Structure 1
Amino acid sequence: MNVTPQLLRKPLAMIAVAAIAASTALLPASAEPKRGGTLTAVVNPEPAFLVSAHNPVGGVLQVSSKMFEGLLTYDLEMNLQPALAESWDVADDGLSVTFHLREGVTWHDGEPFTSEDVKFTTMKIWKELHPRNRVNMAKVTDVETPDAHTAVFRLSEPVPFLLSVMNGGESQVVPKHIYDGEDVGKNLVEKDPVGTGPFKLKEWRRGEAVILERYDGYWQEGKPYLDGVIFRIIPDEAARATAFETGEVQYGGFTPVSPCTAQRLGTLENIGVETRGYEFFGTIFMFELNLRDEVLKDKKVRHALAHAIDRDFILENVWCGFGTPTTGPVPPQLTEFYTDDVPTYEYDPAKAEALLDEAGYPRGEDGIRFKMVHDPLPFGPNFVRSAEVVKQNLAEVGIELEIRTQDTPTYLRRIYTDYDFDMSSTTLSALPDPTLGVQRLYWSKNIVEGVPFSNSSGYSNPEMDRILEAAQTENDKGKRVELFHQMQKLAQEDLPIIDLFVMSQATIFDKRLKNHTTQSDGYPTFADAYLESE
């Protein structure tokens, strides 16, 4: 079924509920998939390349995920399931992971998929070129290949989150015989994509479309059902919305239009809106505070700011309800590690004023306590609109806020190199394990000048470092959960970051399209998707 944004409480937001909930995104048990037809989807921005084993960026992944696969995949309940690996074993001491690979799998050129491909991808791509796996797999010392269908990862220390990143969205396997050579990175960008997925490249018309066709040798017998997929490049949002309305485009992932436009499209008879399928990310909208500032280094001031900001109003009126509340840096959807037993900061301007008075910042004769500058993330108008709400909120408690907008390079330099900011808005994908996503904003060793989306607040607490570093290698699941509970409590007490809400991504689709949302990592293969007859 389709789900609606979970916080559509305002009358305006409720308009879309009936229409969105009425459509069916996934395959009913009694339905028989229809074979044939070509799906037209939209991708924005246009991919710069089509193989993403070394650089898993969104626009590329929306296309490459139909051609390449990982060892594992996620179902809609965030359970790991077999993909190129049929099964896997983790040693009791956590120092090895053995993947038993699927037999009978071939690359799009007909060559067999083997353990040598897994070793090559791991050691030469994930460990050397991949921006996150260089860290995630730093303790992988070797991949042994005792036979063509067994890959044994050897580790110098336990890596309890290793399996979490073996899905196709994060870690795609590529063929050694195609991409190995003197310059593997160059090969991945310049050579045509050759994967194991249900679709293969037919044509790339740059600036216009990427055209995929069915791979008849796909290892899942009888799939895919579609003859092909055309990914159209439509840079203008209004044009994308029109293409959905007219039926010219039948699919778009990762909220291809603004949240409020998505809400409107969901009221149309032929269009559905699906917010499932993105649980892997747990993306939080947040405000980072620069603790180098004399005022903001005071914890009472940070607590006051949290009480002064009306999160619910921002979510409902700026983001049209596409989000869910969170009590801290680990999203509630990450049920294994989440706790709500943390300090919380409800919207309470009177409490904010009292804390500011206690901190020694009374209102002046002009009613102003102090001034701040806010740098919104330059990724769309909603970040500026959110800042405008915060400006009004803070004015109510005597803080004058200047909103400073800029292009992306300037923003990144200002926040992550010059540290020339008071408050910035940004987003964080928590990912399936807090070590993978959350740690980077709270670990003092990740205060790295010039590295985007690192610890820009300058937050440093030896106790937080101890907790995070212990969790990196703790092999006892119960102890590790307790460490992350401690981490959340400390993060909410120190409050270097004000977490607003977990953002909901949306898939826009033509209701004739069935079985498009089958995974929780945002990048379905479309092996099960089909178009219902008119």
Structure 2
Amino acid sequence: MMKQQYKYGIMFFLILFLTCVVLVACNNDKGEEEKPNESTEQKKDNPKKKDDKPKAGGTVVGGMHAAPSGMFNPIFYEETYEANIIDFVYEGLVVQDENLEFMPHLAKEWEANDDQTEITFKLVEGVKWHDGEFFTAHDVVFTYKSMADPDYISSGGIRIDYVEPLKGYEAYNSGNTKEFKGVVAEDDHTVTFHFEKPNVNPLYTASFPIIPKHIFKDVEVSEMPKHPGSLEPEELIGTGPFQFTNMVEREEYVLEKFTDYWQDEPYLDKIIWKISDQADMTELLQTGKIDFISEPNGIAPVDYETVKSFPNIKIIEQPDFSYQLLGFKHNHRTTEDVGNGLLEPDNWKPNDKLANPKVRQAIAYAINRQELIGEGPNEGLLNGRGEIIHSPIAMQMWAYDDKATVDYDFNPKKAKEMLDELGYKEESDGFRTDPDGNEWVLNMDYPTGNELREQIAPLVKEMLENVGIKINLRKPKEMSVYVEDLTNDDSDWDLYLLGLNLRTTDPDPSGFWSTRAPYNFSRWNNPESDKLIKKALKTPEAFELDFRKEVYEEWQKLFSKDLPALLLFAENKLWAYNERIQNITPLPRTMFRDSHLWWVTDAEE
């Protein structure tokens, strides 16, 4: 059993959080020389259909609306499309269960010290990488040391929230020392995480997917994104149940079972991802050309009733840990900083067109978010299968507090009055000039590949132009190009559409909204926000849930007034799969649980 010394009841609030990292969720900690534990035997001897026994063999096909951009290294990828490959290839020390509590995975047990500054993990023995090498504690150290490297951010790395709390991070990241004290291998199967301060989320910090040291040990971090082990099928080496073996770029991505997988050989031979337009997904699902649709967008709400009528298809519907937003570019990076890979707020250039928070508030009042969602079937874009969200903390979180926020109910009259008072005069053509009498046009950008966002863009344009705000709705860009431009943002972006996936471990919003967070695409620079975000994690006060609630209440109020983004809605997640696939047991944020136990009824034995 796990040894846990959570003196302050930490496990109570290790239950929900804001990203992107997607983990394969398996719950067996068997080593190579161990026999399958009881839970695995029960699953294999008691499948969902009592009259059927699991069969080995067969292939299942998943559908994606857009192609991965091609980065498959867990420490560098940015998009959910890549995660659909990574989910099956790489694994972490711990995963979350259906109650969002952490459970053993590559680590079989752990023990934290009294003041929560250290946590030591005992690793499962006998776990193999796909190339036959054995997984050890040194791989764990290497993964975290790579993310703490001085060149990590400038090389495109964004997951610094996993390493910032670790002891000695700043000294190592700044290049002042070559010794990284944050993660230490005690022996081949014991690893300790050391924290600079008592940590309220030690298991979250330790949950990141591990990459193989023996593949990358001689590669500079700055060169990792270009290495075949980050990009090429058959070169990706993980510990997961499936290996990435082949791809026809932007068309098909093939995963084959890893026969020496530590939790038993998977039943399926292959999992294949096919890229298709979202508009074609329903027909492909009905005809059996694809077997499941899940991340990142699932089935479109407008297709729900149609898919529900298919006799061979099952639907999984549950609240999602994500939201769609209309972002406001507060600042832009300089071209020089982009070239040097720097996120330096002192160098950012203010976006004068949106500098006044009251302008952003007026825009918020002009957007009819409920109309986008709809009240029920055949209404809006979601057919009513979603909800307006007022805070960038997931509604399922204990910290979510919509009573603390400004709600911005649809009120175009108020929007017009605010703009009038600010000196944005409406001219004879119906559009407004700025307070200096100059033409006032806001550029708006959005990506392709997501039918919902493609539908939102012209509707938002129409709503804003109804109150006199002229919108230059620019030609959409393919998602990988869009994200790159959004990240660099040394141009004339004003408004942008995006969906953010929230972590399920804790409401800490720093990964998206702290000033230096790479995902802070609005380049929101608010010292009071940063102060509150840090305060909510400051121990020993942060071990008290009521303290954190009060701080996050204040932060949510600040966010809703300063508006780095207008949160449009949180939609219900709708996944669908062909009933030929057995043993799918979804988690709150993924259906890729225990994929080594998936099997198909029509497998040829």
TM tier, shorter chain?
0.7 to 0.9
**Is it true that 1:122 corresponds to 2:188 in the alignment?**
no
In structure 2, the CA distance between the partners of 1:112 and 1:439, relative to structure 1 (3 Å rule), is closer
Show the counterpart of 1:7: none
Show the counterpart of 2:11: none
**1:46 shift after superposition:** 4.9
SS of aligned partner of 2:442:
strand
State the Cα RMSD in Å: 3.5
1:99 corresponds, among 121, 125, 133, to 121
Aligned residue identity for 2:246? W
1:486 corresponds, among 532, 538, 554, to 554
1:39 corresponds, among 53, 59, 64, to 59
In structure 2, the CA distance between the partners of 1:344 and 1:507, relative to structure 1 (3 Å rule), is same
Within 5 Å, which residues of 2 pair with 1:126-141?
A: 129=152, 131-140=157-166, 141=181
Show the counterpart of 1:148: 188
In structure 2, the CA distance between the partners of 1:234 and 1:426, relative to structure 1 (3 Å rule), is closer
**Is it true that 1:246 corresponds to 2:287 in the alignment?**
yes
CA contact (8 A) 2:328 2:360 kept: no
**1:131 shift after superposition:** 2.0
1:347 corresponds, among 401, 410, 414, to 410
Show the counterpart of 2:104: 82
Show the counterpart of 1:180: 217
Show the counterpart of 2:563: 495
In structure 2, the CA distance between the partners of 1:50 and 1:228, relative to structure 1 (3 Å rule), is farther
Moved more, 227-236 or 293-302: 293-302
- Residues of 1 paired with 2:483 and 2:580: CA distance? 42
**Is it true that 1:194 corresponds to 2:265 in the alignment?**
no
In structure 2, the CA distance between the partners of 1:166 and 1:511, relative to structure 1 (3 Å rule), is farther
Show the counterpart of 1:268: 310
Show the counterpart of 1:399: 469
In structure 2, the CA distance between the partners of 1:415 and 1:406, relative to structure 1 (3 Å rule), is farther
SS of aligned partner of 1:502:
strand
Within 5 Å, which residues of 2 pair with 1:512-523?
A: 512-522=580-590, 523=592
Moved more, 181-190 or 149-158: 181-190
Aligned residue identity for 1:176? K
TM-score by length of 1: 0.79
- Residues of 1 paired with 2:275 and 2:535: CA distance? 46
Aligned residue identity for 1:470? K
Show the counterpart of 1:3: none
Show the counterpart of 2:25: none
SS of aligned partner of 2:194:
strand
The C-alpha deviation readout for 1:250-295, integer Å capped at 9, x for no partner, is 123213665534663343222233244x85x524333325474556
**Is it true that 1:313 corresponds to 2:371 in the alignment?**
yes
CA contact (8 A) 2:362 2:418 kept: yes
Show the counterpart of 2:175: none
- Residues of 2 paired with 1:131 and 1:110: CA distance? 28
- Residues of 1 paired with 2:85 and 2:102: CA distance? 22
The C-alpha deviation readout for 1:411-449, integer Å capped at 9, x for no partner, is 85478533524332223333236776x435543445xxx
Show the counterpart of 1:506: 574
CA contact (8 A) 1:301 1:356 kept: yes
In structure 2, the CA distance between the partners of 1:87 and 1:132, relative to structure 1 (3 Å rule), is farther
- Residues of 2 paired with 1:194 and 1:92: CA distance? 37
**Is it true that 1:286 corresponds to 2:321 in the alignment?**
no
- Residues of 2 paired with 1:328 and 1:218: CA distance? 41
**1:309 shift after superposition:** 0.9
- Residues of 1 paired with 2:237 and 2:490: CA distance? 42
**1:231 shift after superposition:** 0.9
**Is it true that 1:425 corresponds to 2:497 in the alignment?**
yes
**1:246 shift after superposition:** 1.2
CA contact (8 A) 1:376 1:383 kept: no
Aligned residue identity for 2:557? K
**1:228 shift after superposition:** 1.7
**Is it true that 1:467 corresponds to 2:529 in the alignment?**
no
- Residues of 2 paired with 1:165 and 1:143: CA distance? 11
**1:461 shift after superposition:** 3.1
1:373 corresponds, among 442, 447, 466, to 442
CA contact (8 A) 1:444 1:455 kept: no
1:388 corresponds, among 442, 448, 458, to 458
Q: How many residues align?
A: 493
CA contact (8 A) 2:88 2:241 kept: yes
In structure 2, the CA distance between the partners of 1:99 and 1:344, relative to structure 1 (3 Å rule), is same
Unaligned stretches of 5+ residues in structure 1 = 1-25
In structure 2, the CA distance between the partners of 1:160 and 1:488, relative to structure 1 (3 Å rule), is same
In structure 2, the CA distance between the partners of 1:322 and 1:54, relative to structure 1 (3 Å rule), is same
Runs of 4+ in structure 1 deviating by more than 6 angstroms, as ranges, are: 29-32
The C-alpha deviation readout for 1:46-71, integer Å capped at 9, x for no partner, is 57365535436433331232232111
In structure 2, the CA distance between the partners of 1:40 and 1:454, relative to structure 1 (3 Å rule), is same
CA contact (8 A) 2:161 2:511 kept: no
CA contact (8 A) 1:474 1:480 kept: no
**1:151 shift after superposition:** 0.8
In structure 2, the CA distance between the partners of 1:423 and 1:212, relative to structure 1 (3 Å rule), is closer
Aligned residue identity for 1:401? I
- Residues of 2 paired with 1:174 and 1:79: CA distance? 24
Show the counterpart of 1:443: 514
Aligned residue identity for 2:89? M
- Residues of 2 paired with 1:32 and 1:337: CA distance? 44
Aligned residue identity for 1:272? K
